[in-house]
A and B are shown apart, each in its own frame.
Chain A
């Protein structure tokens, strides 16, 4: 495949179509999650999304500012304990606590960040790792009423249950007694959406650009008038307040907070999620959170007998697998999953940027392979692969083995490429009508379109069936 399957000019009608398709995928994913998954699985998804927010906070410092922060578990803990205390002891509502949590997190970020960020080097890593180690012990102090607020070693439960009000009962999955986790899912999704918007805008703003400049060239940024300590500390404090917000979401989701939830191991989980997803990308943070929880879930099911010794993933070794993943990713995929996904994307679609005149900088026609086009074949392969992998996936699901299970899960996802096959095949047929393709592409293109449409219909019917079943 020398040229990508689809080449579009930026902001052209075609490009917009693909963008809508992308949003549709995302919306479909978000909508289906509470419908398809069991309540306990929605709980896991919630945990993953909460971790995603925390990873985004870490990313703001590590990925976008090039400083090493290893202690965001403590900020999460602060946010979670403040929330638990305000909601349980003072009878506040969760949404009322949000500004408090943001401010507390910001102040903690300044206190911890300022000493370390005045000087160059690894000092932030030093301070934050100590911070992560100290935090779980601090909540047990009896003085100053700390233990009374945090519940000390027993942890603190929040008795107020988060249940959808009547006017929100129409949300997917939010019905009946088991709808609580689905409702919390929707709250968390909305909060993540707002956080992502704010962070994206922040990174595009003047201070955000200064943050990126410091990462790329610290001396250069200083020369251009960036006040290094101030910008770094502000960025760290913003990151800390987002971390605290993740803590609030943690408390909202679990309804129970304990000091031993926010240890150094959680901080390392965040770092692993960051590397797994992709350092320095916003999508990477979200993907990272999902993968941390997912991989953790998978490793628990590993059990490989090796003669006298059984390799058991449900014990201490789960952490070793995480460590191994961390090292492997650092070596072989430093860009994380996002960079791998971009490699796949580059094979599928290419967006040609526009010159100031509004014309594409390179004519779209120059990407057209003309009579030698193999795109129709590729589209046909994509459309055939979907149903075949789906069938293999369903069959393999019955084999109770971890590796096979993972592959089965991944295989079935390939059906989602069906709409891509339809679009590519339609384009090829259009080109054929214009006389740019040989007649031989008609067969594969028609097959691709038919199979792709069937696959798309299957996805829609499947989703609708799940939707109806749940209501």
Chain B
């Protein structure tokens, strides 16, 4: 066996940046789960649609990348509200089956419509963090910084900073605004929230909006790693995000982010790096997905509530 520790930091950095993206998508899942105890299987496809909006606005219409990202996040938030209002609100939230069926239907529709419009080819989307902007003094190269003899890509730093900023904004929204207070009230107890006068429907719509916006952010950030955007880009990422959400706890926002990062690390370090050590060859995509599946199984076996989730107490 060849314990190649020289390249380990590379894998760690890669795992951390991928993990941060999984965290964003996992957060998108958790925000909806927390309020409705529903797993939104269309999360990935909504995020993919957001990434395609950025593609259309930026690559086709030539709008500044960050502005088109903001517009796309706003539009997908609107789409989230629309879906909540028209498709999920008519159903009894206690009965999971219809709502899950609706999200599966959305999954199919969004994927197929995107496939019809943009084909299933990979389309290049500008990397928001391709290389350092001019005003940053160069530290080793214009795309990376040398750390521990490895290259820490500007892209990874950019992803971390963006997500940190987004998380900060989210915590401000949830903790300082009235809508955020309502959302926290609804996610802790729907009945009580309704009794004290919170408009639960509108609040759930608000949750869907933030969740969709976060998903879009994750999809845009992950696109450069996948070579670009395509309608199936989120299929595997959704599974990693589910694993991250399960690991962190399905009802904990911070847990989702940390869980996503952990899944990214496990994937990069244990599976990819360890896989090279043990098997002497890359099994990337195969074993990574299997690892996500195993993570879900193990979490459910030993700590069903996840690392940071609250254990649910059932009263009859």
Q: Tell me the interface secondary structure of chain A in the complex.
A: helix
A140-B286, A143-B279, A330-B101 are contacts. A323–B300 as well, Cβ < 8 Å? no
Interface centre among A219, A279, A319 (most CB of B within 10 A): A319
CB-CB under 8 A from A115, the residues of chain B are: 297-298, 300-301
13 intermolecular pairs with C-beta atoms under 8 Å apart: A120-B314, A130-B242, A130-B243, A134-B292, A140-B286, A268-B104, A315-B115, A316-B231, A317-B116, A319-B109, A327-B101, A327-B105, A327-B109
Q: Which of B97, B102, B105, B312 contacts A120 (CB 8 A)?
A: B312
> Are B304's CB and A118's CB within 8 A?
yes
Q: What's the Cα separation between A279 and B97 when bound, in Å?
A: 10
B184 to chain A minimum Cβ distance, whole angstroms, is 21
CB-CB under 8 A from A134, the residues of chain B are: 239, 289-290, 292-293
Q: What's the Cα separation between A160 and B283 when bound, in Å?
A: 33
With an 8 A cutoff between CB atoms, is A275 at the interface? yes
A119-B304, A271-B101, A326-B101 are contacts. A141–B283 as well, Cβ < 8 Å? yes
CB-CB under 8 A from A31, the residues of chain B are: none
Q: Which of B37-45, B129-137, B157-165, B264-272 contacts A (4 or more CB under 8 A)?
A: B37-45
Q: Which of A116, A127, A316, A331 contacts B116 (CB 8 A)?
A: A316
With an 8 A cutoff between CB atoms, is B316 at the interface? yes
Would you give the 0/1 interface string for A234-272, flagging 1 where the beta carbon is closer than 8 Å to chain B? 000000000000000000000000000000100010010
**Chain A residue nearest to B283 in the complex (CB):** A141
> Are B108's CB and A116's CB within 8 A?
no
Interface centre among A120, A140, A268 (most CB of B within 10 A): A268
User: Which residues of B in the span 107-126 have a Cβ within 8 Å of any Cβ on A?
Assistant: 107-109, 111-113, 115-116, 120
User: Which residues of A in the span 117-136 have a Cβ within 8 Å of any Cβ on B?
Assistant: 118-123, 125-127, 129-131, 133-134
With an 8 A cutoff between CB atoms, is A138 at the interface? yes
A122-B38, A129-B242, A130-B293 are contacts. A323–B109 as well, Cβ < 8 Å? yes
CB-CB under 8 A from B292, the residues of chain A are: 130, 134
> Are B112's CB and A127's CB within 8 A?
no
With an 8 A cutoff between CB atoms, is A202 at the interface? no
Q: What's the Cα separation between A140 and B312 when bound, in Å?
A: 39
Would you give the 0/1 interface string for A195-238, flagging 1 where the beta carbon is closer than 8 Å to chain B? 00000000000000000000000010000000000000000000
**Chain B residue nearest to A124 in the complex (CB):** B300
With an 8 A cutoff between CB atoms, is A148 at the interface? no
CB-CB under 8 A from B37, the residues of chain A are: 121-122
> Are B112's CB and A319's CB within 8 A?
yes
With an 8 A cutoff between CB atoms, is B138 at the interface? no
CB-CB under 8 A from A70, the residues of chain B are: 104
A120-B314, A323-B105 are contacts. A316–B296 as well, Cβ < 8 Å? no
CB-CB under 8 A from A119, the residues of chain B are: 300, 304
Q: What's the Cα separation between A416 and B290 when bound, in Å?
A: 52
User: Which residues of B in the span 58-113 have a Cβ within 8 Å of any Cβ on A?
Assistant: 87, 90, 96-98, 100-102, 104-109, 111-113
Other A-B pairs beyond A126-B242, A137-B289, 20, CB < 8 Å: A119-B304, A123-B304, A130-B242, A130-B296, A134-B289, A134-B292, A138-B290, A140-B286, A219-B316, A316-B116, A319-B108, A319-B115, A320-B112, A320-B113, A323-B107, A323-B108, A326-B104, A327-B101, A330-B102, A330-B105
Would you give the 0/1 interface string for A327-371, flagging 1 where the beta carbon is closer than 8 Å to chain B? 100110010000000000000000000000000000000000000
- Contact-size category for A: 35 or more
Q: What's the Cα separation between A60 and B169 when bound, in Å?
A: 45
With an 8 A cutoff between CB atoms, is A417 at the interface? no
CB-CB under 8 A from B192, the residues of chain A are: none
CB-CB under 8 A from B290, the residues of chain A are: 134, 137-138
With an 8 A cutoff between CB atoms, is B166 at the interface? no
B149 to chain A minimum Cβ distance, whole angstroms, is 32
B122 to chain A minimum Cβ distance, whole angstroms, is 15
CB-CB under 8 A from B296, the residues of chain A are: 126-127, 130
A214 to chain B minimum Cβ distance, whole angstroms, is 14
> Are A133's CB and B297's CB within 8 A?
no
**Chain A residue nearest to B120 in the complex (CB):** A316
> Are A327's CB and B115's CB within 8 A?
no
Q: Which of B41, B112, B116, B283 contacts A129 (CB 8 A)?
A: B41
A115-B301, A120-B312, A125-B39 are contacts. A327–B87 as well, Cβ < 8 Å? yes
Q: What's the Cα separation between A126 and B289 when bound, in Å?
A: 14
CB-CB under 8 A from A271, the residues of chain B are: 101, 104
Q: What's the Cα separation between A322 and B301 when bound, in Å?
A: 35
B294 to chain A minimum Cβ distance, whole angstroms, is 9
> Are B39's CB and A126's CB within 8 A?
yes
Would you give the 0/1 interface string for A381-401, flagging 1 where the beta carbon is closer than 8 Å to chain B? 000000000000000000000
> Are A123's CB and B38's CB within 8 A?
no
CB-CB under 8 A from A141, the residues of chain B are: 283, 286-287
